[in-house]
Amino acid sequence: MIISSMTTMYAKRREDDEFISLNESIRRHHALGYRVLDLNLCALQRDEGPFSGDDWKEVAYSMKETADQLGVSFYQGHLPFRSMKFVDTDEEMVRKLHDATMHAVEICGIAGVKWVVAHPVASPYAPAEEVELHVAENHRIYDGIVKRLTELGVGIAFENVPAHAKIERFGSRASDLVALIDSYHSDFVGGCWDFGHGNLNYGELQTWGIRKMGKRLKALHFADNLGARDDHLPPFVGMINWEKIMQTLAEVDYDGCLVLETVQNSRLPDHLKESSMRFLGDVCAHLDALFENAKKELKEKEV
């Protein structure tokens, strides 16, 4: 499994709160051995980050040129999403998020992202169990986005979202994602499993959700937590049973990347970021060893 990191691991400097350029982020990742990255574009929903200016297209092409020169590619990305403060009936808020999302879509096309992650939406007029109504709402919001992504050769992976205060919402269950993904009948539509969200929603039983997703899984977010909130801790620092997780990924024959979605690096003083990334690389290497051993054991059982 190829080990990958998010571009936001080098997002800001603690010392002056200034954004680190994407070109610098790519170079610093490359120097540590990372050759595949996740292009996180969530800052666009706040009108922040390197792509928020009028020169966003020049920034995107410069980023791609730097990546190509270094032999770095972008397997995953992440679209802007509805925050907890999002109001479905606020037309201006809806328009701004749609514009930011389409902006991100074009950047993914320039970067050559293979799978961009998106959060499914819920109909504000239906309870969680009315799956068909929620699927219809996602088509209303995402059909134009999916069409443009498909034209650009970029797949979209709908992510399992955390339940709010342990209350189910559409997208927090694997069965929701299966219904949404299958409704598109497209090779460009798949799923992303976030293990931190899975732990909050399922606890030890999240492996059932992973099995239900099966070959629909195109992207992963590796992060841990303590079971109460989405802490985005490094794997093994929280309470997730990673040995069981990697065994299950081997069972469903996952063939994508191992992508970190932890946050501690953004809060570190700049001179400590490299040692943090080396530590995370070692953690990921251990996860990959668990995965490869599980695949080997499964093959031996088949014989």
**What confidence tens digit (pLDDT) does each residue in 178-204 have?**
999 999 999 999 999 999 999 999 999
Structure token digits, residue 202: 């399922």
pTM of the model: 0.96
State how far the Cα of 129 lies from the Cα of 135, in Å rounded to an integer. 11
How high is the pLDDT of residue 169?
87
Residue 62: partners with Cβ closer than 8 Å, 6 or more residues away: 22, 23
**What confidence tens digit (pLDDT) does each residue in 120-156 have?**
999 989 988 899 999 999 999 999 999 999 999 999 9
* Strand ranges across the sheet with 36-40: 217-221, 189-194, 155-159, 115-118, 73-78, 36-40, 3-6, 258-259
Q: Where are the domains of the chain?
A: 3-302
Q: Give the relative orientation of helices 131-152 and 91-111 as an angle to the nearest 10 degrees.
A: 40
Nearest Cα to Cα of residue 93 among 122, 84, 106: 84
Answer yes or no: are the C-beta atoms of 11 and 232 closer than 8 Å. Answer: no
How high is the pLDDT of residue 90?
82
How high is the pLDDT of residue 165?
57
Helices marked H in the chain: 22-31, 56-70, 91-111, 131-152, 174-184, 195-202, 206-213, 242-251, 264-267, 273-302
In the three-class reduction of DSSP (H, G, I as helix; E, B as strand; rest coil), residue 197 is classed as helix
How high is the pLDDT of residue 30?
98
Residue 98: partners with Cβ closer than 8 Å, 6 or more residues away: none
How high is the pLDDT of residue 83?
79
Fold entry, domain 3-302: TIM Barrel (3.20.20)
pLDDT in tens, the chain (303 residues): 999 999 999 988 899 988 899 999 999 999 999 999 999 999 999 998 899 999 999 999 999 999 999 999 999 999 999 877 788 878 898 899 999 999 999 999 999 999 999 999 999 899 888 999 999 999 999 999 999 999 999 999 999 999 875 557 899 999 999 999 999 999 999 999 999 999 999 999 999 999 999 999 999 999 999 999 999 999 999 999 999 999 999 999 999 999 999 988 888 999 999 999 999 999 999 999 999 999 999 999 987
State how far the Cα of 151 lies from the Cα of 248, in Å rounded to an integer. 33
How high is the pLDDT of residue 168?
74
